[in-house]
Amino acid sequence: MITLQINGQPHDVDVSPDTPLLWALRDALGMTGTKYGCGIAQCGACTVHLDGQAVRSCQLPIGSVGSRAITTIEGVGSTDAGAKIQKAWLDLEVIQCGYCQSGQIMSAAALLAQKASPNDDDIDAAMAGNICRCGTYVRIRAAIKKAAAA
Amino acid sequence: MLANESSKVPGLSRRELLKSGAAGVLLLGFRVPIAHAASDSFAPNAFIRIGDDDVVTLVMPQVEMGQGIYTSVGMILADELDADFEKVVLQHAPPDKAYINPIFGVQATGGSTSVRAFWEPLRKAGASARAMLVEAAAQQWSVELSTCRTSNSVVIHDASGRKVGYGAIAGLAATMTPPKEPKLKSIKDFTLIGKPVKRKDTPDKTDGKTQYGIDAMPAGVKFAAIAQCPIFGGKVGRVDDTKAKAIKGVQQVVAIDDFVAVVADTTWTALKGLDALDVIWDEGPNANVDSAEIWQALRTASQGPAVVAKETGDVKAAFADGAHYDAVYELPFLAHAAMEPLNCTVHYTKDACEVWTGSQVIGRVQADVAKVVGLPIEKVTAHNFYIGGGFGRRLEQEMAVRAARLAMQVDGPVKVTWRREEDMQHDVYRPLYHNAVSASVKNGKIVGWTHRVTGSAIIARWLPPAFKNGIDIDAVDGAVDEPYDFQNIKIEYVRAEPLAVPTGFWRGVGPNNNFFTLETFVDEIAHREKVDPVAFRLKHLDNNPRLKAVVQLAAEKSGWGSSLPARMGRGISAQNAFGSFISTVCEAEVDESGEIRVHRCVAAVDTGIVVNPDTVIAQFQGGLIFGLTAALYGEITIAKGRVQQSNFNDYRMLRINEAPKIEVHLIPSMEHPGGIGETGTTASAPALANALFAATGVRLRRLPIDRDVLAGRKPA
Ligand code: FES
Ligand code: FES
């Protein structure tokens, strides 16, 4: 049994310690907001925060997490940056199919928490790891700037 | 039957319908409260449920894959119904013939048909329900029908100041006879259509609440991962599962025909189990097929007998003199690579079967699962979901059939997730195409045009009744109705199914191939005739005022003709496809090594009456990125009967740091609504290839774009 600190709450999971956080969240805890896209750190769909840093949960065995704080898409709205990003996402109607957007929002929220006014290069650096097959990039960029200005 | 269904669609000729009907995709993509049990004191038709609690539930005949269709379809219904859109609840349609797409004749979402096909039926459904509510209220108040009006889910009698909510009158309305010809609003009275309305599905997509098929979690669900035979047409030979079964959490290993699956406590354990299996595949007849052989077969087929899909004027005479141009264009296999990998959850018992999946063809899912598990169709319940990208891939149902076959051997519900590599290597691929095209030019105008399209007939498999006389209406879509007045035209089609590799619809469908060919060839001729490419197109568009207007607007808004730095170029494309008229200008830069930077795309779009303007713009933006991705990077190749690409590391996607600025200018129009989901994809490749020519002088006739050719390291 491993105890994970997720969105401020302890959760016990009874799966093997090599299980990536992605699959522990989805299959063991039923928190399906975090998405599987590639499993090899190429797409960013599985992005969560670990002590505030954006990480790819498909690469993070739960045995290595310890007591560090995990934030997922289900909880990011209670952070200042997360709430601003979610609002900007809706104001600018960023989302299409939405499947990549949990990961996009998690990456963008981590960026905004670290840089109050990110420029285009900052956005490229923080967001290039997140693929959107629906092609919402133009709006993602605009929404990050809008959230920063809010 | 298809034609009958089709002819019900207003504003489109039967030929156009068949044409567009062929076209397939898909598009792709709620706090939509998804209602589970609509309360339905008043259910006047398949689309509308009004409860006495005042809740208006709208049933969505088309699936939401990101295209914003739930909001657009909801707006059309709610506008004619005069329902309070803020309070409307949306529900996924179950499999039922009431939700058949009039263009396809099957319950399907694709081909940018949703608004085109459902525009009038939904308006009538809304208007009819509204008429019954008004009649009920008028009867209750004993007043003249004509003295009542409606607004925001309330019937109002101004003279007496009486009002009644739709819910309170719903029961009585249910006893009224639906009008034969409900009176539709005139366009100026629309309260929702044409206004930017916030999407209903997006709030739940910002906080992880939205459920896609992959998120289905029926009680007691087990998790499975699947490995299909990597060689097309091969089967499972021998499986040694000793090591897999030793892994804690692995519950079952099942081999069926052409796939092996591991069932476990989590998807992760199932994937580990899959990797621990020792499988010997029975490779079958395709074990030596490779891309070179497939291309060779396609090229050989292109020289063989063809069917004539269209012939006008006197082509022979047109080619007897004048300047003569020939070219060959080739497009590769492509994977869909939707962000949500293939998945399907099935619970089989001997009396009933339940399926959870996101599908563009939920009726076919239900029917095929019923067949394979041997149950009557009414014993199979198929639940549809939000779709994490369709692009045509989810117009197929073979994944549900495999999941159902596995579920027959598993106790309780089982969720099958295809790992990304399996999804990519077991797709139905956008077919490769070969195009031979010739033009005759006299007095600065194209007067003769021949185009021979060689490629797979997807329609023949997917919608057999629409495959007639050997002509695949999708494969020649965009070629048989090219937009210019070339006068003497011959379009031919050669059906050539690629060796071993299954083919399917892919966003932009047939027009991707045909407009790439047409628009890069016209561009090449303009340059060789030393005429500006915009001016050259306009010369041939006197009979096509809607396309002419968008070409002029795109040129103006893009600053066409103004100077650009060295190694930068501007290219244009024009298209009339999916019922929309679009011109796109692309600005791109090429460095000495052949690396490409797309800076900006400017498009002018006339898509008829627009339901939700911001959704149209979003779809066009996304479609452009989808098409640019394919033009810049997309190619599936085959070696030893297997797909060589596997994941996003070797099947590259455009990322945010490479995305151009995109401007979309909508032309106001009162014409019948056109389709939009595919259009950006069709527009992008020719505009880009033409920009790259302007930047480098290198003419590209093959996709994806080869940097070695651009940099002069390899001949074109
Ligand atoms: S699923 Fe983790 S990066 Fe793609
Ligand atoms: S919104 Fe569909 S993949 Fe990004």
What CATH number should be reported for the domain holding residue B366? 3.30.365.10
Tell me, yes or no, whether B716 lies in a domain: no
Smallest Cβ–Cβ distance between B66 and the set A34, A43, A98 belongs to A98
Are the C-beta atoms of B610 and B667 separated by less than 8 Å? no
- Two tokens at B35? 């209602």
Q: Is the peptide bond before B704 cis (omega within 30 degrees of 0)?
A: yes
Same domain, B497 and B593: yes
Interface residue A7 vs chain B (CB under 8 A): no
Asked if the structure places residue B7 within a domain, the reply is no
Q: Is residue B422 in some structural domain? A: no
Going from the Cα of A129 to the center of ligand 1, the distance in angstroms, rounded, reads 9
Residues B225, B78 share a domain: no
Domain count, chain B: 3
Q: What is the pLDDT of residue B244?
A: 98
Give the pLDDT confidence score for residue B111 in this predicted structure: 83
The burial class, CB within 10 Å (0-12 / 13-18 / 19+), for B713 is exposed
Asked if residue B457 belongs to a domain, the reply is: yes
Say yes or no: B348 and B315 in one domain: no
Q: Residues of CATH 1.10.150.120 domain(s) within chain A?
A: 77-149
Same-domain check for residues B447 and B494: yes
Nearest to residue B690, comparing CAs of B619, B623, B578, B598? B598
Select from B576, B574, B572, B575 the least CA-distant residue to B587. Answer: B572
Helix orientation angle between A137-149 and A80-91, rounded to the nearest 10 degrees = 130
Do the domain assignments include residue B9? no
> A77 and B207 in contact by Cβ < 8 A?
yes
Question: What whole-number distance in Å separates Cα of residue A36 and Cα of residue A30?
Answer: 13
Q: Examine the fold and report which residue of B191, B206, B221 is the final residue of a domain before the chain moves on.
A: B206
Distance of CA B369 from the midpoint of ligand 1 (Å): 31
Residues 6+ apart with CB under 8 A from A142: A92
Residues of B within 8 A of A42 (CB-CB) are 647-649
- Cα–Cα dist B716/B712, whole Å: 8
**Domain-located, residue B423:** no
pLDDT in tens, B233-290: 999 999 999 999 999 999 999 999 999 999 999 999 999 999 999 999 999 999 999 9
DSSP E strands, B563-635: 568-577, 580-590, 596-606
Distance between CA atoms of B599 and B191, rounded to whole angstroms? 38
Is residue B49 within 8 A of residue B178, CB to CB? The reply is: no
What is the token pair recorded at B500? 């071993």
Whether B266 sits inside 8 A of A28 (CB atoms) is: yes
Q: In this structure, are B36 and B160 located in the same domain?
A: yes
CA–CA gap between residue A21 and residue A5 (Å, rounded): 12
Q: In Å, how far is A104's CA from the nearest CA of chain B?
A: 10
Please tell me whether residues B230 and B113 are part of one structural domain.
no
- What sign does the CA torsion over B62, B64, B67, B70 have? positive
State the pTM of this model.
0.93
- The residue among A85, A97, A140 with the most chain B CBs within 10 A of its CB, best to mutate, is A97
- Given B206, B224, B257, the domain boundary residue is B206
Q: Whose CA is closest to B391, among B680, B104, B605, B657?
A: B680
Same domain for B699 and B559: yes
Task: State in Å: Cα A41 to ligand 1 middle.
Answer: 5
Architecture of domain A77-149: Orthogonal Bundle (1.10)
Type of residue at B696: T
**Interface membership of A1 toward B (CB under 8 Å):** no
User: B6 in a domain, yes or no?
Assistant: no
Q: For residue B419, what are the contacts with CB-CB under 8 A and spacing of at least 6?
A: A39, B225, B271, B274, B341
Residue B351 and residue B326 in one domain: no
Three-class secondary structure of residue B221 per DSSP = coil
Taking the alpha carbons of B61, B62, B64, B67 in that order, is the dihedral positive or negative?
negative
**Contacts B205 to A, Cβ<8 Å:** 95, 98, 101
> Do B173 and B275 have their domain in common?
no
Chain B neighbors of A136, CB-CB under 8 A: 618, 621-622
Note whether residue B448 is domain-resident: yes
Q: Which of B167, B182, B64 has its CA nearest to residue B123?
A: B182
Where in the sequence of chain A do the CATH 3.10.20.30 domains occur? 2-71
B497 and B535 fall within a common domain: yes
pLDDT of residue B87: 84
The per-residue pLDDT for B103 is 86
Where are the strands (E) in B272-320, listed by range?
A: 278-282, 307-312
Do residue B452 and residue B514 come from a single domain?
yes
Among the bound ligands, name the one nearest to the CA of residue B419. Answer: 1
Report the distance separating Cα B77 and Cα B86, nearest Å. 13
Walking along chain B (716 residues) 10 residues at a time, the average pLDDT comes out as 28 32 25 42 91 89 90 94 92 90 88 88 94 96 96 96 96 94 94 94 96 97 98 98 98 98 98 98 97 98 98 97 96 98 98 97 96 98 96 97 98 98 98 98 97 98 94 96 94 97 97 98 98 98 97 98 97 96 98 97 96 95 98 98 98 98 96 94 98 97 97 89
**pLDDT score recorded for residue B110:** 85
Question: Could you tell me which of B183, B76, B79 has the C-alpha nearest to residue B119?
Answer: B76
Nearest atom, ligand 1, residue B648 CA:
4
Q: Is the dihedral of CA B75, B81, B83, B87 positive or negative?
A: negative
A2-71: CATH number:
3.10.20.30
Is B29 within 8 Å of A96 when comparing Cβ atoms? yes
Domain with B386 in it: 213-284+342-417
Size of interface A-B (CB pairs under 8 A): 197
Ligand 2 pocket residues where CB is under 6 Å: A 95-101, 132-134, 136; B 29, 66, 339, 389
Domain boundary among B206, B231, B261: B206
On whether both B324 and B391 belong to a single domain, the answer is no
